[in-house]
Structure 1
Amino acid sequence: MNPTEPALLVVPSPLALADVPPLCERLRTLYAAGAREVVCDVGGLVRADLAAVEVVARLRLTARRAGGRLSIRGAGPGLVALLRLVGLE
């Protein structure tokens, strides 16, 4: 892994709350392997719902705890509005 290039984490669709812990573990693994920045692609999510908000919140918390940077890519307007509503934009 090249630590100067962002790693990619793709959020699957459909997404369930049960998918959140494995995604956080994958993110921790990317940081442990040397990634400094991870791009989280949520473009495949077709619904803006509680699971989508939960995954973004937990991934951001995981990144902060690991000392890494996380950016969200591909969020649709519904998810952006929901994230803004809960203060996670």
Structure 2
Amino acid sequence: MSYACPRGLQIVDAMTPAVLVLTGPVTRDEVTGLCDDLRALLEATGARGPSVVVCDVGGLGPPGLGAVDLLARLELTARRAGGRIRLRDPDPALRALLDLVGLRFEVEGQPEQREPALGVEEAVEPGDPAL
């Protein structure tokens, strides 16, 4: 499930994150190789600040604890390397399973948690204390 990294300098566009395509089902033996691939992609970006690798999980297969374990290990690997992962095309059942076990991942196409969604305004009720 892993691929060989090409030799020489890799060309990485600073605006486009690297993509790791995950197809499944993934066996336990393949998890270590995928973590190595992720680490290599994070090192190849060489960007200042936290690097992001997009994990395309659309072809991961039916959601289960194996997928949860894989994504948790990939997130840990990314954090240890000073980066993070973002999910692309997750199955709704996989997102529900990740929520159930308490794992939160950034998903492409969704606003980040620290940013308010577009068009959302906070309402203030009369009588609310000013902060």
TM-score, length basis structure 1: 0.90
Determine if the alignment matches structure 1 residue 29 to structure 2 residue 40: yes
Higher-helix-fraction structure:
1
Q: What is the alpha-carbon distance in structure 1 between the residues aligned to residue 79 and residue 70 of structure 2?
A: 14
The residue aligned with 1:52 is 67
2:31 to 1, 9, 20: 20
CA shift for structure 1 position 51? 1.2
Determine if the alignment matches structure 1 residue 87 to structure 2 residue 102: yes
Task: Give the number of the structure whose alpha-carbon radius of gyration is greater.
Answer: 2
CA shift for structure 1 position 83? 0.3
Larger relative CO (CA 8 A, sep 6+): 1 or 2? 1
Q: What is the alpha-carbon distance in structure 2 between the residues aligned to residue 27 and residue 46 of structure 1?
A: 20
1:33 is paired with a residue of what secondary structure? helix
The residue aligned with 2:93 is 78
The residue aligned with 1:2 is 12
Structure 1 unaligned regions, length at least 5: none
Q: Aligned residue pairs: how many?
A: 89
8 Å contact kept, 2:23–2:61: no
8 Å contact kept, 2:22–2:56: yes
Q: Which runs of 4+ in 1 moved over 2 A?
A: none
CA RMSD of aligned residues (A): 1.3
TM-score, length basis structure 2: 0.63
Structure 2 unaligned regions, length at least 5: 1-10, 105-131
8 Å contact kept, 1:37–1:70: yes
